[in-house]
Amino acid sequence: MRFIKSLFKLRLKMDLAFRVDAFFNFFTQLVYLIGILLLFRVIYLNVNEIVGWNIGDVYVLLGTYFILIEVYNMTFRGGILSLPETVKEGNLEIYLLKPVNTIAFILLKRVNIGRVWRVLPGFILLIYGLKMNDIHAGMNLVYYIISLILSLIIYTISNFCISLLSFWFYEVNNMFYIYDDLMEFAKYPDVIYSGIIRKVFMTIIPVIIFSSFPARILIGLSSFQEIFAYQAILLLVFSGISLTLWQRGLVKYQGRG
């Protein structure tokens, strides 16, 4: 734990050394946020609702999406993306021999505090959506935060599973790019998807639940019990897959060495 804290402090000092870049990141996110607001304003000019979601609901959804993505990018993305290169170069022993949890160290070794500015537009959009609908969240806010954390964990583990494929495949970076593209579907209400696409995006590649589920709780479209139950099942499944890949990958890696 002390090692992890030291790692965070080191990353914070490094990121604060580039404060101009941090402010620039915030500015670019703000411009993008304004663009999103204008886009959905145009879409909702002639309708009040689309499949049960009004414009305020969609802003809550988008705010949730941006918070999720930017918190992930700030905390776990760098470490996860570094694992395939570490495996490829045969340097994994450096982490395996450290007196800390190896998986936790890999996930947190490239925390980028400088990206914290990029989370703020998501909060702005979320609050704006709540005010538009005059929603007083109450306890739903607590359930929303729990659901958002569960989404973040599942999203992180699913990305970690991709990085673990590097034990068997030489190049996996393209898989991350594909997953990033698929995450674009998370910007829209889950109810617009149907058939096989919905089934795939709810289970195998559960991108549409990451932001829609927490947002549903906050705006009162779903009960927290059913959302938590579904997320708990996904969490158990993906945790089991990741641990299996990790253990078998280590066996293959050590055998190769």
Look at 95 and 2; give whichever has higher pLDDT: 95
28/44 Cα distance (integer angstroms): 25
> Taking the mean position of all CA atoms in its chain, how far away is CA 136?
26
**Domains contained in the chain, number:** 1
pTM, whole model, 2 decimals? 0.88
Angle between helices 139-164 and 55-72 (to 10 degrees): 50
**H or E segment and range at residue 49:** strand 49-50
Q: Give percent of the chain with pLDDT exceeding 90.
A: 63
Write down the residue that tokens 């998807």 correspond to: 193
Q: 206: domain range? A: 2-256
Neighbours of 93 (CB within 10 A): 12
256/178 Cα distance (integer angstroms): 29
Q: How far is CA 32 from CA 65, 117, 237, 251, in A?
A: 13, 13, 35, 45
Q: Give 235-252 pLDDT, tens digit per residue.
A: 999 999 999 999 999 998
Neighbours of 44 (CB within 10 A): 16
- The DSSP code sequence of 203-238 is TTS-TTHHHHHHHHHHHTSS-HHHHHHHHHHHHHHH
Please enumerate in sequence order all residues whose Cβ is within 8 A of that of 7, keeping only pairs 6 or more positions apart, or say none: 105, 108, 109, 111
Q: Give 89-119 pLDDT, tens digit per residue.
A: 888 988 888 888 999 999 998 888 777 878 8
Q: Give 117-160 pLDDT, tens digit per residue.
A: 788 889 989 999 999 988 887 899 999 999 999 999 999 999 99
Q: Give 35-74 pLDDT, tens digit per residue.
A: 888 888 888 888 888 888 999 999 999 999 999 999 999 9
* pLDDT value, residue 26: 67
Query: Which tokens in the block code for residue 52?
Result: 């049960």
* pLDDT value, residue 112: 83
- Three-state DSSP state, 170: coil
115/22 Cα distance (integer angstroms): 6
- The mean pLDDT of the chain is 88
**H or E segment and range at residue 161:** helix 139-164
In 3D space, the residue among 214, 211, 209, 76 whose CA is nearest the CA of residue 145 turns out to be 214
DSSP helix, strand, coil percent of the chain (3-state; round to 5) = 80, 0, 20
In 3D space, the residue among 252, 40, 229, 53 whose CA is nearest the CA of residue 166 turns out to be 252
